[in-house]
Chains A and B, each alone.
Chain A
Amino acid sequence: MNMSDTQPSLKRSLLYRTTTGEHYKQQDGGMLVAQFSANDAEQAKRCGLLDLSVARRTGLRGKNAPSVLSEHLPGMANTSVIQANFAEQLSTGEWVLRLGKTEYWVLSSLTGTNASLDALDQAASQTADCYPLYCQSSHAWFVLTGDYISEVMAKLCAVDLNERVFPVGKIAQTSVARVNAIVVKQTYQGIPAFSILSDSSSAEYLWLAILDAMQEFNGQAIGADVLTV
């Protein structure tokens, strides 16, 4: 079933016509593929790709961004200073990405209410020298999973993303298939994964380019449930 066959919500991934699946679900005001097929779990371990563009994320930057982050994101309390171009998963499930000296993005845990992200946005817009970023709208969010993620990315990206030199938590701000992208090494349910955040207007192009690169490894789309269930 194609997502465009379902009743669309106001908030839509720019990819929603391209993605298909067996089950869909509401996520943060939009619809995403919950299950692509019954084989999602195995596929995710091997080579899977999913679109989390409607899932909640936010960003902020400015001199006061670190203090806003630590004050309004509860999970930051137990976290040491994150180095630039590194990401860390908080005890509350969110991933905090430090993209520059004063720039941070926060990816939701996919399971919570995102109240902390809402509070963060609110605080950022009301704090001097702290500017909210529009990464929810400006960037698509894909997750590439499985044992072959480095091999797939080697066909698309000039940065060495092998586990040996690119461990969990590392970030590359680079070009993927000639499109600017932020690549974050993560694990979801113990499965190695790259979050790929890239210009939303190129989402369809990049999605198809990654799927094409995955063919060699029998890769295919998966649903989001495998990351959380």
Chain B
Amino acid sequence: MKPSQRLNEPMGLLIDRNKPVQFKFENQLVSGYAGDSIASALIANQSWLMSRSFKYHRPRGPLTMAGQDANTLIQLGGEPNVLADRQNISQDIQVRGQNYNGSLENDKDAVLGYFGRFMPVGFYYRSFFKPLGAWKKWEGVIRDKAGLGVLDLNFKPEYYDKKYLFADLVVVGSGPAGLAAALKAADAGATVILVEEQTILGGSLTYNRFDIEGKKAQTLRHELLTRVTEHPNIQVMTDAVCNAWFTDNYLPVIQGKRMYKIRAKECILASGAYEQHVVFRNNDLPGVIMCSAATRLIKHYAVKPGNKAVVLTGNDEGYYTALDLLEQGIEVAAIVDMRAQAQDPILFASVAEKGISIKQGATVYEALATKGNKHIKGVDIRQITGKGQVADTAELIDCDLLCMSAGFMPAYQILCQAGAKLSYDDAAAEFNLSGLPAHLYIAGSVNGIYSLDAVLKDGEKAASEALNSLGLSTEPVADVNCDKKVNYDWPIFSHPKGKDFVDYDEDLQAKDIVNATRLGYRDIQLVKRFSTVGMGPSQGRHSALPTARLVANATDRSVTETGVTTARPPFAPEKLAHLAGRIFDPYQRTPMHYRHLELGAKMIPAGHWQRPAYYGGAGERDKCIQLEADHVRNKVGLIDVSTLGGIELRGPDAAEFMNRIYTFGFLKQPVGKTRYAVLTNEHGVVIDDGVACRIADDHFYVTATTSGVTRVYREMTKWNAMWRLDVDILNVTSAFSAVNLAGPDSRKVLEKLAPEFDASADAFPYLAYRETNIQGIPARLLRVGFVGELGYEIHVPAQYGEALWDLIMQAGKAFQIKPFGVETQRLLRLEKGHIIVSQDTDGMSHPGELSLGWAVNRKKPFFVGCRSVDIMMAKPMKRKLVGFRLPADSAKPEEGHLVIEQGEVTGNITSCEYSPAVKAIIGMAFAGIEQSEPGSKIGIRVDGKMLQAEVVSLPFYDPKNSRQEL
């Protein structure tokens, strides 16, 4: 690595010469300054080779110095595909090139370039797909040859997050147009966010030369920046990429490890234009760069890009570049102007006066390379004789730097995402944009305005339009015109030996594009997919325009008719970490959650909740469940049922509402009683169930399933929006915490817990509802029988939930109370033949299939789904939910296993568990109607083997319900 050489100040806007930084590139120590990009530091050390190309492994160096091309993709530590001209250096980073076999300097696969004729566009699509399965073998080889960097699989995730921002106006791009727009809008009172991709404001003012003297840009930038940075209404975001546009000016902006989601009332895109390359042989050699790349190296980083330069241009910008080079002591061997004459005669004369040779109507036909194509060493210059044609005679000039500018392409991607239309102007040989959505404006070079004064006016014009829309101004908006022509109409000079690259990312040459059209891919979208043009990391920033021109020419259409390929978000590569950000994954806890953990519960998810499955180790599931079930059957157990949904219905029409929404009759439900409530949808399908408590004539408290309560509440409010009954509906799920105290000794525990409450069977019979006070805690008591034992659901305000648990456990000590979990509850209710909606039902289960006909009141005039229930229950049933049993030593079917009869699937297992009470494997399953009668056999396929289970009548346990009605 040669020693770093820097130009004198004021060159080097971005670097801090007082802060030297060292890092390693390909294990070689490189010195730079804070603010240097990896690319600028390397070039300052005369190291241009940064990576290799994707297909031919050609040496590549920076093209734009603005992160707009894929030539600088490097491996930064464990992170592949980092842009060396965007990534700043920091002390001791380890950087490597990409896409090489061996070493970057001596790539064994560089030989692939000699076999280019055997690797035409799409060759691998056509070569490696036969015989069947061949692609699988070739894919690895091809991917290996391509390189693509290396992932660090030991990478530890870092902290990324997201944040919302709000403004009246967002201005994307802080070039002269963006600065002028932001200032005008802010002066009028609008709040403005100014988004800039680079680390400093100013855009082209930081590197471009807008006058012969070279002072205008610096003076103007200083003036505008002073005002912008001091303006209270302007929030500046640098090093921030606006990566898309979504409806209503919803803009994702990535800055560092954060994605900002900006909501703006108005948006101005002053995103500039991409300088375009000239297509000629070896236009990819290191040392062949855009004019703007040369001036960025000089002005941003104080790096001298070469000693002897040639400028190839199709506009006057090349002349300004020549002046910049000359000022910094770089010999300009020639300006090669593809045009017959320059547009600005004063500029032309000024450059000519400096003694620079100007070759008009000429082009570089080939860049000549040093050994191994490592750098440019000269150019072959020819006179242009026609569209893409050159003379036979050549002039050779030695040089180590070629700066080129074929013109500019507006940064159209985000605008086209927003719905703008790209049209090609043949006279100006450039694309322009129209058809923007409301509240989105463009200004500056993206709008085809290039002269500095006009650019400033165009920025102000866009601001005026935004201000008028915001109601902050009423001033008339005048059009801005600019006659500066920056595009040369055919900067494509194909060479018989090729390597005249249209798309650097994919090593696509001019003939590749033309050949794609000859193979029948005439549409630009098909050309893209066949050739992969524009599909690389630079996303067509430089290839879209020459491709459109080549396809139009080859298919005898206009460029407007040909168009460009669709631009989709994101505008620039973004990390998955940015999309994921800080993950919000809400969870819910019952008030007793930590008590369950203290008791050693195995927790399982139930929607956003965590519930105890059972209390014990994960490897002791069956044992724990059976012990807990046995304890509930013989003593007393306690389960947290706080996750149950709860809905309150209050008002004069509460009973009428209940009667309409649920299948049962509720008009005559006595106060102080509970009733089973089944909810069907309009298709007659059972979608939820619960227990309805009538607290007063005009007051019901109804439970719903844990996962179903949100839907039930939504359905209720939806229906009442139509019925307009006088009822207040309130989701109180989180307001109440609840437990089920169950078992033969549960009454004793309750009596000890609330001595003043009469819990006798007469005073508080089965299915009754009562309210009491448990040691200072207001409580609602429901006598339920879900697990088939004497039991009480106790509902209390949530903030007392943990205290209630503690009090019950304390009161129950004398009766050896034990907690039991959800899995145990599932076994207990299975023994009783009680269904769980959504576990024992599916999206087609009507009350008849579930034997819930008893819970449907056929006499009342209406309930939601009644017509459908009638129709379905009138039809012959094809399946039914049945109970089955298998011997204890049989293989145990799992939920979801198929019920098969004579080779046909007739149903599936919905619940199955070993029952210590029944001493058999019991379960419920949908079975064909022919097999649904008790005593029938159903075939169940378990792990490929068929079992024959006996259909039995439900429930399995305590068929007379004597235990729960104690």
Is there an interface contact between B586 and A12, defined as CB atoms closer than 8 Å?
no
Q: Which residues of B contact A61 (CB under 8 A)?
A: 728
State the CA gap A160–B650 with chains docked (Å): 36
Which residue in A8, A138, A177 is a CB contact (below 8 Å) of B735? Answer: A138
Q: Which residues of B contact A155 (CB under 8 A)?
A: 161-164, 582
Which residue in B584, B590, B591, B797 is a CB contact (below 8 Å) of A209? Answer: B584
CB distance from A13 to the nearest CB of B (A): 7
Interface assignment of A79: CB less than 8 Å from any CB of chain B: no
CB distance from B511 to the nearest CB of A (A): 51
Interface assignment of A41: CB less than 8 Å from any CB of chain B: no
Interface assignment of B46: CB less than 8 Å from any CB of chain A: no
Chain A 62-82, CB-CB to B under 8 Å as 1, else 0, gives: 100000000000000000000
Enumerate A1-55 residues with CB–CB distance to B below 8 Å: 8-14, 17, 30, 53-54
Chain A 179-203, CB-CB to B under 8 Å as 1, else 0, gives: 1000000000000000000011111
Q: Which residues of B contact A162 (CB under 8 A)?
A: 166
Is there an interface contact between B164 and A62, defined as CB atoms closer than 8 Å?
no
Interface assignment of A114: CB less than 8 Å from any CB of chain B: no
State the CA gap A155–B583 with chains docked (Å): 11
Is there an interface contact between B582 and A201, defined as CB atoms closer than 8 Å?
no
Q: Which residues of A contact B589 (CB under 8 A)?
A: 14, 201-205
A13: nearest residue on chain B (CB-CB)?
B799
Q: Which residues of A contact B732 (CB under 8 A)?
A: 134, 138
Enumerate B584-612 residues with CB–CB distance to A below 8 Å: 584-591, 594, 608-609
Which residue in B163, B584, B587 is a CB contact (below 8 Å) of A154? Answer: B163
Which residue in A53, A62, A137, A178 is a CB contact (below 8 Å) of B584? Answer: A178
A11-B803, A165-B166 given; A137·B586 CB < 8 A: no
Chain B 136-169, CB-CB to A under 8 Å as 1, else 0, gives: 0000000000000000000000000111111000
B260: nearest residue on chain A (CB-CB)?
A154
A17-B594, A131-B650, A205-B587 given; A137·B799 CB < 8 A: yes
CB distance from A196 to the nearest CB of B (A): 14
Q: Which residues of A contact B651 (CB under 8 A)?
A: 129, 131
Interface assignment of A173: CB less than 8 Å from any CB of chain B: no
CB distance from B169 to the nearest CB of A (A): 14
Is there an interface contact between B582 and A133, defined as CB atoms closer than 8 Å?
no
Give the number of chain A interface residues (Cβ < 8 Å).
Answer: 43
Interface assignment of B263: CB less than 8 Å from any CB of chain A: yes
Chain B 724-739, CB-CB to A under 8 Å as 1, else 0, gives: 0010101011111000
Is there an interface contact between B799 and A205, defined as CB atoms closer than 8 Å?
no
State the CA gap A12–B804 with chains docked (Å): 11
Is there an interface contact between A205 and B586, defined as CB atoms closer than 8 Å?
yes
State the CA gap A155–B164 with chains docked (Å): 6
Q: Which residues of B contact A10 (CB under 8 A)?
A: 775-777, 800, 803
Q: Which residues of A contact B588 (CB under 8 A)?
A: 199, 201-202, 205
Interface assignment of B798: CB less than 8 Å from any CB of chain A: yes
Is there an interface contact between B584 and A12, defined as CB atoms closer than 8 Å?
no
Interface assignment of B26: CB less than 8 Å from any CB of chain A: no
CB distance from B709 to the nearest CB of A (A): 12
Is there an interface contact between A164 and B191, defined as CB atoms closer than 8 Å?
yes
Is there an interface contact between A154 and B165, defined as CB atoms closer than 8 Å?
yes
Enumerate B910-946 residues with CB–CB distance to A below 8 Å: none
State the CA gap A131–B594 with chains docked (Å): 33
Interface assignment of B261: CB less than 8 Å from any CB of chain A: yes
State the CA gap A179–B587 with chains docked (Å): 9
CB distance from A7 to the nearest CB of B (A): 12
State the CA gap A157–B261 with chains docked (Å): 11
Is there an interface contact between A12 and B191, defined as CB atoms closer than 8 Å?
no
Chain B 703-735, CB-CB to A under 8 Å as 1, else 0, gives: 000000000000000000000001010101111
Interface assignment of B802: CB less than 8 Å from any CB of chain A: yes
State the CA gap A108–B533 with chains docked (Å): 66
Q: Which residues of A contact B161 (CB under 8 A)?
A: 155
Which residue in A11, A134, A164 is a CB contact (below 8 Å) of B800? Answer: A11
Q: Which residues of A contact B797 (CB under 8 A)?
A: 134, 136-137
Q: Which residues of A contact B799 (CB under 8 A)?
A: 11-14, 30, 53-54, 136-137, 200
State the CA gap A61–B729 with chains docked (Å): 11
7 A–B contacts, CB within 8 A, in A order: A9-B803, A10-B803, A30-B799, A53-B799, A155-B162, A201-B590, A212-B582
Instruction: Supply 18 further A-B pairs (C-beta < 8 A) apart from A14-B799, A202-B588.
Output: A10-B776, A12-B800, A30-B799, A129-B651, A131-B730, A134-B730, A134-B797, A136-B799, A137-B735, A137-B797, A139-B734, A158-B261, A160-B164, A178-B585, A199-B734, A200-B799, A201-B589, A201-B798
Task: List the 10 closest A-B pairs by CB distance, nearest first.
Answer: A138-B735, A134-B735, A160-B166, A201-B588, A137-B797, A137-B735, A10-B803, A178-B584, A137-B798, A201-B734
